């Protein structure tokens, strides 16, 4: 992993921790930003970015889930089709 990739991964993780800290403390965003010396713009920027990252992860998980569901459905249809054929051939 190159330096740019590391920085990109580290920043969201660091900001996720910062935002979770604010929520856990129950502070307002204004109070929290003043205490930590963080601009409100930076806070909201990273909050938005983290939501986008989370949405992309959920979207990817859903795509994988949809493909898995489709594969299972096709397999079930295949099995049911061939079960009927075998039963018919054996006069069940």
Q: What is the pLDDT along the chain (92 residues), one digit of tens a residue?
A: 554 554 455 588 888 888 888 889 899 999 998 998 888 998 888 888 888 888 888 877 777 666 676 677 676 766 665 555 544 454 44
User: Which pLDDT score is estimated for 6?
Assistant: 46
Domain containing 43 equals: 3-89
C-alpha 62, offset from chain centre: 9
Residues 6+ apart with CB under 8 A from 32: 21, 22, 25, 38, 43
How many domains, in total, are found in the chain?
1
**Contact predicate 47/57, CB 8 Å:** no
User: Which pLDDT score is estimated for 21?
Assistant: 87
User: Which pLDDT score is estimated for 28?
Assistant: 93
């Amino acid at each position: 992993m190159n330096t740019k990739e590391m920085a990109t991964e580290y920043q969201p993780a660091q900001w996720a921790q910062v935002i979770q800290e604010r929520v856990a403390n129950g502070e307002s965003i204004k109070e929290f930003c003043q205490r930590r010396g963080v601009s409100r713009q930076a806070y909201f920027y990273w909050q938005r970015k983290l939501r986008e990252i989370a949405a992309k992860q959920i979207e990817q998980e859903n795509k994988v889930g949809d493909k898995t569901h489709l594969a299972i459905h096709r397999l079930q249809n295949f099995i049911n089709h061939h079960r009927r054929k075998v039963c018919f051939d054996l006069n069940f």
